[in-house]
Amino acid sequence: MTVETPTLADPHDWLERKGRWSAFEIAFWVASLLPFFLFQTYLPLASQIAVTALFAVSVDLVLGYAGIITLGHAMFFGLGAYAAGLISKAGWGEPLTGLIFAAAFAGLVGYVASFIIVRVQHLALIMITLGLGFLTYELANSMSWLTGGTDGLQGVETWPILGVFRFDLWGYTAYGYALAALFLGLVLSRRIVHSSFGLSLRGIRENVRRMPAVGSDYRGHLQKIYTISAAVAGCAGALLTQTTDTVSLDTLSFQRSADVVVMLILGGTGRLYGAVIGAIIFMVARDQLADMNPQYWYFWIGLLLMVVVLVMPKGILGGLARLAGERD
């Protein structure tokens, strides 16, 4: 598959070609079904990978495509997790409506925050997102009467999906549910980035100062994608709550925000599937390395990150694309 640069003559044809499903994508989704048959013992890990991959995709929408550098996106992940947990604790454990509620709540907070985000750039942007993340974490910690504080939110109970599929101990339902959500999230994200709106986001990422010259409301575009990204991140957080029946402050931590950026660097930003590949590599490496050396496993993650950045600056997917002769 050759990545072509759109020309003024055929932008719609280019977008249509980009929107077609490639053989790689089809093969990837077929392979994603293998844990059901070959790796049943790893289904709980697979469901966590799917949740994390959806979160990584949400960050890629703003970082990889719009150029919004964020170190506090776990704020929306955690808000979605707590929203789903609180509505379940209140007596409504239906997962699909809980998922929608969590996405809407996180999206609403993202929309409000976007008015601040679009007014700053570079180092100030990093500091603002970092500060919002810390504020949300400490707020949740201080509101222990609502969130459970450091003990986590207790009493979360998720009902069977559609009243039929119960969350079993082995993780079959959890993985199927998380995988379906990841697939839908990827479909939505593909539709966004392979549209004229997605092209506008690329233009903003490359040179935001020139966008007004072509009549682009760059601030409006940034607010839209930030709100969408927040909603997707909230959906990922709700998935974590519903598949584990627990919520902790870790969902809001800086560590989670930093980890997802590492995943994007590993897989490659601005590619969607780079976020998924990065999440798979990071989560599998963490699982295996933590078993080998629980105390110093981050050393090996750091070493892996350095090697990838030095050898493949655009991530693993970007490096493979370069070897295949594709152009960015």
Within-domain flag for 319: no
Q: How does DSSP classify residue 117? A: H
Going by C-alpha positions, the residue among 244, 230, 101, 278 that lies closest to residue 167 is 244
Query: How does pLDDT run across 194-216, given as a tens digit for each residue?
Result: 988 988 898 888 887 777 767 67
Q: pLDDT at position 3, please?
A: 45
Q: pLDDT at position 23, please?
A: 86
Q: pLDDT at position 196, please?
A: 87
Within-domain flag for 262: no
Query: How does pLDDT run across 21-39, given as a tens digit for each residue?
Result: 888 899 999 999 999 998 8
State yes or no: pLDDT of 230 exceeds 80: yes
The SS3 assignment for 161 reads strand
Going by C-alpha positions, the residue among 40, 42, 3, 45 that lies closest to residue 20 is 3
Domain interval for residue 179 = 40-252
Q: Quick one: tokens of 314?
A: 């655009």
Q: pLDDT at position 20, please?
A: 79
Within-domain flag for 287: no
Long-range contacts of 37-46 (CB under 8 A, 24+ apart): 40/170, 40/172, 43/170, 43/171, 43/172, 43/174, 43/175, 44/170, 44/171, 44/174, 44/175, 45/283, 45/284, 45/287, 46/171, 46/175, 46/179
The SS3 assignment for 41 reads helix
Lowest mean pLDDT among 41-55, 111-125, 213-227, 250-264: 213-227
Q: pLDDT at position 1, please?
A: 39
Of all residues in the chain, the percent with pLDDT exceeding 70 is 93
Average pLDDT over residues 62-75: 94
Q: Quick one: tokens of 318?
A: 């970007």
| Residue 91, Ramachandran bin (φ over 0: left; ψ between -120 and 50: alpha; else beta) | left
Going by C-alpha positions, the residue among 122, 70, 121, 117 that lies closest to residue 222 is 117
Within-domain flag for 188: yes
Within-domain flag for 78: yes
- pLDDT tier at 98 (50, 70, 90 boundaries)? very high
Q: Is-contact 53 276, C-beta < 8 A?
A: yes
The SS3 assignment for 165 reads strand
Query: How does pLDDT run across 139-190, given as a tens digit for each residue?
Result: 999 999 999 999 999 889 999 999 889 998 889 999 999 999 999 999 999 9
Q: pLDDT at position 11, please?
A: 67
Within-domain flag for 225: yes
- The structure tokens 């044809």 sit at 13
- pLDDT tier at 261 (50, 70, 90 boundaries)? very high
Going by C-alpha positions, the residue among 207, 185, 181, 182 that lies closest to residue 96 is 181
Distance CA 281, CA 150 (A): 29
| Sequence-distant (≥ 6) Cβ neighbours of residue 74 within 8 angstroms | 133, 251, 252, 253, 254, 256, 257, 260
Query: How does pLDDT run across 106-126, given as a tens digit for each residue?
Result: 999 999 999 999 998 889 999
Q: pLDDT at position 212, please?
A: 73
Q: pLDDT at position 325, please?
A: 66
Within-domain flag for 320: no
Number of neighbours of residue 219 by Cβ within 10 angstroms = 17
Distance CA 117, CA 125 (A): 7
Quote the number of domains for the chain: 1
The SS3 assignment for 1 reads coil
Q: Is-contact 55 261, C-beta < 8 A?
A: no
CA atoms within 13 A on the CB side of 299: 6
Q: pLDDT at position 328, please?
A: 54
The SS3 assignment for 158 reads coil
Q: Is-contact 110 91, C-beta < 8 A?
A: no
Q: pLDDT at position 104, please?
A: 97
DSSP string, 216-242: --HHHHHHHHHHHHHHHHHHHHHHHHH
Query: How does pLDDT run across 262-317, given as a tens digit for each residue?
Result: 999 999 999 999 999 999 999 999 998 888 877 788 888 899 999 999 999 889 98
Within-domain flag for 151: yes
